[in-house]
Structure 1
């Protein structure tokens, strides 16, 4: 880990430390900002004492990050167009990351202070979109080229659909519980349980489900939200110390060979389907594959990039055997090949079998570029887990008491939490970032409506307003900060 500072100028090394620290601060704030939502029901229903709920939630968040992979991390990274990712250099990379992080931290702290369950995911994604748009305008690109709009649409749909699904699923689940367990003690609020049964805690089975589902929410939160921090760290490392991180230094000879073979198979697949791709993808024989890659991806250079990858990796058993400039060149070629393959898939002109093969080839091409070192994953996991253990009180009361006009029953808490686990788990399976805050709060609202408890209009209005303002506010703030930094620093 510490060898990444070797040979760096003092100013660049300081900037690297500051950037990494800000990413971890963001994850720490994310921990106590979003985890309040994860433990709100289990604390409010007295299923667990607050200190135990928060402690075990922190552990589950930590484990979720460690075991969650990096699919969501790179879904976030690829909101930025591949041409920008190709040309990250230390000055602009630092301006980009600092703008995103300052925006995300400021908005998260503000909404937490006022006890509003706003979305950290919305904040970060809005900040990334703002930087992408500002970079496009500053570099003279068309407004549509500043962002990977295909990925943005996928993520936008997941952020819109997940809370709606949470609302409906929680409502249906609660109606099912009311039908199956009419008159059960699970339909009492903690206050009713104390007044009628003289009991402080929920019935045993209800308590067990509440505890397990709350810890599951924390785990899936870690495996989804934690990856956003991983993606940010990798953006920092690749932008500032690219020689060490453009390709996974821990790649095995087998993994490198898979990348080498994928390039060859990609070449064959394109030539085999040249008639179908004519007019969409111009294929030409490579003239000189040793030339450095262009600053922007050109589908016409696809076969040149294929041959360049194969020449560079022929006989290579470890990426560290390659000179730093060759490693950077290979990464750029692989990113371009992956980007072109994605566009070809979206054309829907290939037979189903060829499309399936192309998707598998994409996975092999990106296997050694979409990665994160263990120390990065562990650091983000630790920051998220530690953040979980502080600052949760402000949001717990909002979720437990202020969304509905009546207090939350045990059945409502179970319905909201089980729904959140299912929705976020599905999103993880498809490597899509979602908002734990939105899914859980919507689940609570759905359960309240199904129980005819009614919603507290003032609180719901405040939450909705925060959700609506988060995207535009974070986009405007991050784009303004990025533009200011680029103009002042001249990068």
Structure 2
């Protein structure tokens, strides 16, 4: 196995993590920034630190990504497939970032893996894709929507007699905790996805055996790149999540972040399912906003976001398949 190919593939995987960080940093902090609970720079710094911490909390999601979605390819062809999968995911991340669309980096990666595997003649583990990707893709936003709605109703009831100004001030402080919890969940979910890819590259290169524990250096570099990307910020997407879906106040922001973090921890620890942080926080914001009144949510913007969810996996798969054809032609 060419060491150069391994190094390049790992480098591209880390670049994907970086794009994931700046693409998805908005997920953790947009609501806190839009309600002025945190300044943008303070929010980004906090999110970067919590991303780093979250990456070391588990490995179940990484195992799903490295072993549960496609058969591990072998040799130079296998490394080419992995490289093409990452290219597909990165291209789609950059396109959606440019247009300010909060699509899912996770599903871009999974779409890239499936597209490259099919183009390279590698078996896709469809049961794993359906059980660990497709079903959570639909279920997690629905749970986020209804749970966000219920959490906000509870908050409205508990604080129904509170002084509005004092309550908002208290929730602004509470949002620093809920945003930190959201960022920790982002690290727990998204850093592990790249860990799974890097481990797959190491297995293809015969550097380690499948089923071995994730090396500490892999956890560290994946977490660090996610944190760096997060600190770089994703201002276009932050505007969409923070203001274009609904104008949030601090109690609403707290409810949305608490809901999304709860869903992510449950998916990570109980089901080892790699869910989309983007899907969950967006749906939670919609659910929270609907308690105000249904038309308070700008459903036209929400419709465009949902459309992006359905396009992401096929689009990334097509880019990855095309990338594999180019790689196979160039390097035979």
Indicate whether the TM-score tops 0.5.
Answer: yes
Matches of 2:155 and 2:69, distance apart in 1: 44
- Given the alignment, which residue of 207, 224, 232 partners 1:382? 224
Matches of 1:184 and 1:456, distance apart in 2: 28
The offset of 1:15, in angstroms, is 2.2
Secondary structure at the counterpart of residue 245 of structure 1: coil
- Given the alignment, which residue of 262, 267, 288 partners 1:422? 262
The offset of 1:372, in angstroms, is 1.1
The offset of 1:74, in angstroms, is 1.6
Deviations 1:82-128 (A, max 9, x none): xx42x511x11221111111111111111112211111111111111
> Which residue of the partner structure matches residue 109 of structure 1?
94
Give matches, 1:87-486, under 5 Å: 88-89=74-75, 91-136=76-121, 146-155=123-132, 156-182=134-160, 184=162, 202-203=168-169, 205-240=170-205, 242=206, 244-246=207-209, 369-404=211-246, 407-429=247-269, 430-452=271-293, 454-486=296-328
Deviations 1:235-278 (A, max 9, x none): 111212x0x3126xxxxxxxxxxxxxxxxxxxxxxxxxxxxxxx
Larger Rg: 1
Matches of 1:476 and 1:51, distance apart in 2: 36
1:80/1:132 contact within 8 Å kept: no
Deviations 1:340-359 (A, max 9, x none): xxxxxxxxxxxxxxxxxxxx
1:78/1:151 contact within 8 Å kept: no
1:130/1:475 contact within 8 Å kept: yes
Matches of 2:266 and 2:97, distance apart in 1: 27
> Which residue of the partner structure matches residue 356 of structure 1?
none
Higher fraction of helix: 2
Matches of 1:77 and 1:13, distance apart in 2: 20
The offset of 1:202, in angstroms, is 4.3
TM-score of the aligned structures, taking structure 2 as reference length: 0.93
Matches of 2:286 and 2:258, distance apart in 1: 14
The offset of 1:185, in angstroms, is 5.5
Unaligned 5+ segments in structure 1 are 1-7, 140-145, 187-192, 248-368
Give RMSD over aligned pairs. 1.9
Matches of 1:414 and 1:434, distance apart in 2: 21
Deviations 1:178-217 (A, max 9, x none): 122125466xxxxxx6xxx9xxx941x3123211110011
Secondary structure at the counterpart of residue 146 of structure 2: helix
Q: Residues 185 and 466 of structure 1: is their aligned pair in 2 closer, same or farther, counting only changes over 3 Å?
A: farther
Matches of 2:227 and 2:83, distance apart in 1: 23
Q: Residues 80 and 428 of structure 1: is their aligned pair in 2 closer, same or farther, counting only changes over 3 Å?
A: closer
Secondary structure at the counterpart of residue 48 of structure 1: coil
Matches of 1:390 and 1:423, distance apart in 2: 26
Q: Residues 116 and 96 of structure 1: is their aligned pair in 2 closer, same or farther, counting only changes over 3 Å?
A: same
Give matches, 1:55-66, under 5 Å: 55-66=45-56
> Which residue of the partner structure matches residue 489 of structure 1?
331
2:172/2:251 contact within 8 Å kept: no
Matches of 2:161 and 2:40, distance apart in 1: 28
Q: Residues 106 and 451 of structure 1: is their aligned pair in 2 closer, same or farther, counting only changes over 3 Å?
A: same
The offset of 1:44, in angstroms, is 0.9
Matches of 2:198 and 2:328, distance apart in 1: 21
The offset of 1:487, in angstroms, is 4.6
The offset of 1:441, in angstroms, is 0.5
